[in-house]
Amino acid sequence: MNEEQQLMASMTRRILSDHCDTALLDQAEQGQYPEVLWSLLETQGLTSLGASEAFGGAGGSFCDALVVLRETGRYALPLPLAETIQGASLLSSLGAALPDGPIVIASGDFALNADHRLVGSASDVRFGRHAKTLLVVAQTGQRAVLCQLLASECEIEIGANLAGEPSDTVTIDQKVALAHQFPLSLEAHQDIETRGAAVRSVMMAGALEEALSLTVGYALERRQFGKPIAKFQAVQQQLAVFATQVAASTRAAETLMVTESLSLLDVAIAKARIGEAAGLSAEIAHQVHGAIGYTKDHQLNHLTRRLWSWRDEFGHEGYWQERLGRKLLADTKANLWHQITAMG
């Protein structure tokens, strides 16, 4: 990371360490929206990071925003910051002014007819109930169009994912003004999934780093048979595997942060590798913590439940492994080994 990105990470970490504690996470899971923390993040310009200043954004690149989002994963931030950053970046790239408040992209089955009526629904929309603006990709003929709507005018059925985060169902049947319709190129349409996978990758990397820190700390404090359990060889072996998984995840995540623009290959590798690490590492974290790690009174559950949820969002590791393989094999004239080693 460059110096500016390090400063952004440090600022985000300072804000979240002061305001995003276990009590706030528990309250959010019980339905209490942390409005004060959202306002603070908005004031600092973090909610529109990566969107052009010409359209009301805070500037910087989308890769800069990923630096901030890794920190939110570390603290299991219960706010739609990732969704808003992605939505603001998308609107900015299309030359649209940014609206106020949280922005959420609802991915589902939507159609826009000749009368400009948008009909369809989407499930598992994270923070749908807290959005002020919904962005929906709809098909109209052979084209894809991004529609911008007020969330208050849509029907939202409340739900939750494994992590206890809002995961709602959105149903729409209304007209959309021409001024709020933005044609999407095939590349821009595909980029929504790619950026979403990049966002979840860095958030998982941050959560994994924090889970490792908690687990090592617990192993050093918890005593059994007169000594810390970190002194037992079996535990040391598990922690070594955990640390290796986290190191690989951190490397994959940082690859996404230091590039000028996201590469499909880099995103595919990161989402697949970090998704694998999430499953194995969460298992080890709970094994080392024992029964206490499974209780909702312990901080660990906020991280591992999110890891299990995030690894499936925007494509699980198997999906991205297949896409990576197809991408590499598509060039029949290239040497596969040379393609793989060049990425190292």
> Is the residue at 340 inside a domain?
no
Query: 204 and 317 share a domain?
Result: yes
**For residue range 166-201, what is the model confidence (pLDDT) as tens digits?**
999 999 999 999 999 999 999 999 999 999 999 999
Query: 146 and 265 share a domain?
Result: no
> Is the residue at 296 inside a domain?
yes
Query: 74 and 123 share a domain?
Result: no
- The pairing of strands 133-140 and 143-150 is antiparallel
Note whether 122 and 110 are within 8 A (CB). Answer: yes
- What's the CATH number where 216 sits? 1.20.140.10
Q: Is the per-residue pLDDT at 230 higher than 80? A: yes
Q: What is the pLDDT of residue 298?
A: 80
Contacts of 44 (CB under 8 A, 6+ apart): 11, 15
Rounded CA-CA distance 145/176 in Å is: 11
Q: Among 78, 95, 112, identify where a domain stops.
A: 95
Rounded CA-CA distance 211/119 in Å is: 42
The number of domains in the chain is 3
Query: 87 and 103 share a domain?
Result: no
What ranges in the chain are assigned the alpha helix state H?
3-19, 22-29, 35-43, 62-74, 81-93, 186-221, 233-257, 264-289, 300-310, 317-330, 336-342
Assign 261 a pLDDT band (cuts: 50, 70, 90): confident
Rounded CA-CA distance 232/21 in Å is: 31
* φ, ψ of residue 331 in degrees (nearest 5): -90, 95
Query: 313 and 195 share a domain?
Result: yes
Query: 86 and 110 share a domain?
Result: no
Query: 106 and 151 share a domain?
Result: yes
Q: What is the pLDDT of residue 344?
A: 62
Residue with token string 């999110």: 306
Rounded CA-CA distance 91/181 in Å is: 11
- What's the CATH number where 89 sits? 1.10.540.10
* φ, ψ of residue 177 in degrees (nearest 5): -60, 145
> Is the residue at 341 inside a domain?
no
What ranges in 114-185 are assigned the alpha helix state H?
none
CA torsion through residues 205, 211, 214, 217, sign: negative
Q: Among 134, 157, 184, identify where a domain stops.
A: 184
**For residue range 146-172, what is the model confidence (pLDDT) as tens digits?**
999 999 999 999 999 999 999 999 999
**For residue range 263-284, what is the model confidence (pLDDT) as tens digits?**
999 999 999 999 999 999 999 9
**For residue range 292-340, what is the model confidence (pLDDT) as tens digits?**
777 777 889 999 999 999 999 999 999 999 999 888 888 777 777 777 7
* φ, ψ of residue 155 in degrees (nearest 5): -85, 125
> Is the residue at 118 inside a domain?
yes
> Is the residue at 14 inside a domain?
yes
Residue from 307, 290, 291, 278 nearest 235 by CA: 290
> Is the residue at 236 inside a domain?
yes
Residues 56-61, mean pLDDT to the nearest whole number: 93
Query: 192 and 255 share a domain?
Result: yes
Query: 88 and 110 share a domain?
Result: no
% of the chain exceeding 90 in pLDDT:
85
Residue 16, number of CB atoms within 10 A of its CB? 21
- What's the CATH number where 179 sits? 2.40.110.10
Q: What is the pLDDT of residue 58?
A: 93
Query: 81 and 114 share a domain?
Result: no
Task: Look up the domain containing 27 and give its range.
Answer: 1-95
> Is the residue at 203 inside a domain?
yes
Q: Is the per-residue pLDDT at 342 higher than 80? A: no
Query: 252 and 281 share a domain?
Result: yes
Rounded CA-CA distance 171/136 in Å is: 11
Query: 60 and 110 share a domain?
Result: no
**For residue range 22-42, what is the model confidence (pLDDT) as tens digits?**
999 999 999 999 999 999 999
Q: Among 163, 184, 205, identify where a domain stops.
A: 184
Residue with token string 């995540």: 253
Contacts of 105 (CB under 8 A, 6+ apart): 83, 86, 87, 90, 134, 135, 136, 137, 192, 196
> Is the residue at 337 inside a domain?
no
